[in-house]
Chain A
Amino acid sequence: MSTPTVKKPRLTTSAMIASIASEGQRVKAAPFGKALVELAAQRQDIVGLTADLAKYTDLHLFAQANPERFFQMGMAEQLLMASAGGMAKEGFVPFATTYAVFGTRRAFDFVHQVIAEENLNVKMCCALPGLTTGYGPSHQATEDIALMRGIPGMTIVDPCDALDTEQAVPQIAAHNGPVYMRLLRGNVPLVLDEYDYTFELGKAKMLRDGRDVLVISSGIMTMRALEVAKVLEADKVDVGVLHVPTIKPLDTATILREAGRAGRLVVVAENHTTIGGLGEAVATALLTAGVTPPFRQIALPDAFLDAGALPTLHDRYGISTEVMSATIKNWLG
């Protein structure tokens, strides 16, 4: 006799630019584009450049509001980054947008040599970070943070939601030096307004306290961690969440203070490969300071990931709320 199995419906890959919001989730439209338009109204030195992806990075809003300050560079990411560097040399604060795979992998030497080596004031805002598209490795920027972390002087921001994104825009513009920001575009989930939170460049923030587990997370994995915390409340597991939107420079003091509290499992959760991202950065900080809590990583595997529907892939690679909750529960035994 065969056992009846519950089969999930087979999902289809959604459009590349589909929102990462789950059904019914509160969202805000184009937080990056709107924040940049607002900032550009106050600061005449803001310019926008893109490599044929204005619409897909919400930069079209800036282009509509400031056509004389918008520069289309065509599908040419080396030109995008180098010319952004050139405009920074002339005193402008360029926001350069493309997809994260192209901004990092394709244009890496131009980011390294043109922009970073001279500490130029370019803000690279790159969409589809980590696993946020089902189009396969060509579009999945699973190692973007590892690449950018290796560049001296690079500031790296991985916002969680619409609130984080819109608050980060004026702050990265005010920062003197290159910034790589992972970009969430379109209808972006709104989560952090329910917490006593404001984005501060360079600061990690406790969003909720918890006795049993401390999740240290960035980007959309903070949203997941907050959902996991609610799920595990039912199992009487108390999960704290430390949100680290600035990955470099790392807020080591806050991380050491929170991870140093006895009796908690520390889980670093990131939408990025296990190699070279927040997990390794936190592990290095902890070991260097002699702080050694039980430590686990929730991250994407060191592999070329599958194509498919995002919910399927997030389940498959362990970064969905459901799988992450089960994983942490399992670790607690």
Chain B
Amino acid sequence: MHTSLSSAHARVAESAYRIRRFALRMGEVQGQGYVGQALGYADVLATAYCHAMNFRPEDPNWEGRDRFLLSHGHYAIAFYAALIEAKIIPEEELETYGSDDSRLPMSGMATYTPGMEMSGGSLGQGLPIAVGMALGLRLKGNPAFVYNSMSDGELDEGSTWEAAMGAAHHGLSNLICIVDINNQQADGPSTKVMGFEPLADKWASFGWHVQRVDGNDLAAVIAAFDAARNLPDAKPRVILCDTLMGKGVPFLETREKNHFIRVDPPEWQQALDILDQAQGAAR
């Protein structure tokens, strides 16, 4: 399907809005959650699930699907929102988020949720798994892509760089890594916890095709995803996405930044109202 950038943009923007809404509603169910990350990452997830990737909502294990690995398992709230938007899980199910016996546990697990390709949470595992899946797809002659989604905190993990070397060594052109750079991890700003710049140079020196974009600039994200798929080079691709935690809800964007943003009970509805107003104005 070929669509002009502007029509793709409008459609993906609608999806990003709904992903933010679904995530906030799940946060409200639990009274907590990684909603800051979800709001910040919604544009990237909308691009993946509503523009770039091939999949069949009714058959999450379809052999021809592009694989999406959620290495940062705590982004599950954002990811479930994307799966709801992609119609892989029904919207009503968001009411069960984080509850006993739910298919939507707080941290993502492959055996619980349709469309969840790995059990994340032990950070730094997605990219080396993606290397194996990409090798496996190539060996089968399956043209699908593997997307590995990870946080900037995972740049601290040695296994990430083992995999970065391995992917380049094996020339994995079917592997696309997406790094969410929100500069927040458990003990503070990622750049203070373990400095990772110059990040684009690092990946390039490991043999990757590198793009760095504002992860909340939808047109730029869409263009980067397209470029990553269409590149002819026999090398893995990384898209470094600088994002703003809480994006779309100004009082959360400006709240004192933390790995886990505090949201007071009346604020959930306020946040939803702000999103609705902004989206209404955009239409």
Verify that A and B bind, or say they do not. yes
* Contact in complex: A87, B159 (CB < 8 Å): no
B87 on the A face (CB < 8 A): no
Identify which of B111, B117, B142, B170 contacts A89 (C-beta below 8 A): B117
CA gap between A110 and B159 in the complex, in Å: 10
* Contact in complex: B122, A89 (CB < 8 Å): no
Of residues 117 through 131 on chain B, the ones whose CB sits less than 8 Å from some CB of chain A are 117-119, 121-122, 124-125, 128-131
Residue on A nearest B134 in the bound complex, by CB: A86
CA gap between A270 and B219 in the complex, in Å: 63
B282 on the A face (CB < 8 A): no
* Contact in complex: B166, A87 (CB < 8 Å): no
Interface centre among A79, A84, A92, A110 (most CB of B within 10 A): A79
Identify which of A82, A85, A90 contacts B163 (C-beta below 8 A): A82
* Contact in complex: A78, B128 (CB < 8 Å): yes
Known: A79-B131, A86-B128. A118 touches B163 (CB 8 A): no
Known: A78-B158, A109-B122. A87 touches B132 (CB 8 A): yes
Of residues 86 through 118 on chain A, the ones whose CB sits less than 8 Å from some CB of chain B are 86-92, 94, 109-110, 113-114, 117-118
B273 on the A face (CB < 8 A): no
Total count of chain B residues near the partner, CB < 8 A: 31
B39 on the A face (CB < 8 A): no
B186 on the A face (CB < 8 A): no
Known: A86-B136, A89-B133, A118-B111. A79 touches B162 (CB 8 A): yes
Identify which of A47, A74, A92, A113 contacts B122 (C-beta below 8 A): A113
Chain A facing B: main interface SS: helix
* Contact in complex: B136, A90 (CB < 8 Å): yes
B274 on the A face (CB < 8 A): no
A53 to chain B minimum Cβ distance, whole angstroms, is 15
A121 to chain B minimum Cβ distance, whole angstroms, is 12
Identify which of A73, A83, A110, A118 contacts B110 (C-beta below 8 A): A118
A292 to chain B minimum Cβ distance, whole angstroms, is 40
A196 on the B face (CB < 8 A): no
* Contact in complex: A79, B125 (CB < 8 Å): no
* Contact in complex: A74, B129 (CB < 8 Å): no
* Contact in complex: A90, B165 (CB < 8 Å): no
Determine the chain A residues whose CB is within 8 A of the CB of B131 once the complex forms.
79, 82-83, 86
* Contact in complex: B139, A114 (CB < 8 Å): no
* Contact in complex: B132, A83 (CB < 8 Å): yes
How many residue pairs link A and B with beta carbons under 8 A? The number is: 97
B202 on the A face (CB < 8 A): no
CA gap between A161 and B20 in the complex, in Å: 60
* Contact in complex: A87, B122 (CB < 8 Å): no
* Contact in complex: A83, B111 (CB < 8 Å): no
Determine the chain A residues whose CB is within 8 A of the CB of B132 once the complex forms.
82-90, 94
Of residues 235 through 260 on chain A, the ones whose CB sits less than 8 Å from some CB of chain B are none
B140 on the A face (CB < 8 A): yes
Interface centre among B132, B137, B140 (most CB of A within 10 A): B132
CA gap between A88 and B110 in the complex, in Å: 14
A208 on the B face (CB < 8 A): no
B167 to chain A minimum Cβ distance, whole angstroms, is 9
A105 to chain B minimum Cβ distance, whole angstroms, is 15
CA gap between A198 and B158 in the complex, in Å: 43
Determine the chain A residues whose CB is within 8 A of the CB of B119 once the complex forms.
113-114, 117-118
Known: A71-B170, A74-B169, A113-B119. A90 touches B140 (CB 8 A): yes
A69 on the B face (CB < 8 A): yes
* Contact in complex: B136, A76 (CB < 8 Å): no
Residue on A nearest B127 in the bound complex, by CB: A82
A194 on the B face (CB < 8 A): no
B87 to chain A minimum Cβ distance, whole angstroms, is 23
Of residues 52 through 83 on chain A, the ones whose CB sits less than 8 Å from some CB of chain B are 68-69, 71-74, 76, 78-79, 81-83
Interface centre among B129, B162, B163, B170 (most CB of A within 10 A): B129
Determine the chain B residues whose CB is within 8 A of the CB of A72 once the complex forms.
169
Identify which of B133, B139, B162, B169 contacts A47 (C-beta below 8 A): B139
What are 24 A-B contacts defined by CB distance under 8 Å? Answer: A69-B139, A71-B135, A72-B169, A78-B124, A78-B128, A78-B159, A79-B128, A83-B129, A83-B132, A85-B129, A85-B132, A86-B132, A86-B134, A87-B132, A89-B129, A89-B136, A90-B137, A110-B159, A113-B119, A114-B125, A114-B128, A114-B129, A118-B110, A118-B119
Identify the 4 closest CB pairs spanning chains A and B, nearest first.
Answer: A86-B132, A90-B136, A83-B132, A82-B128
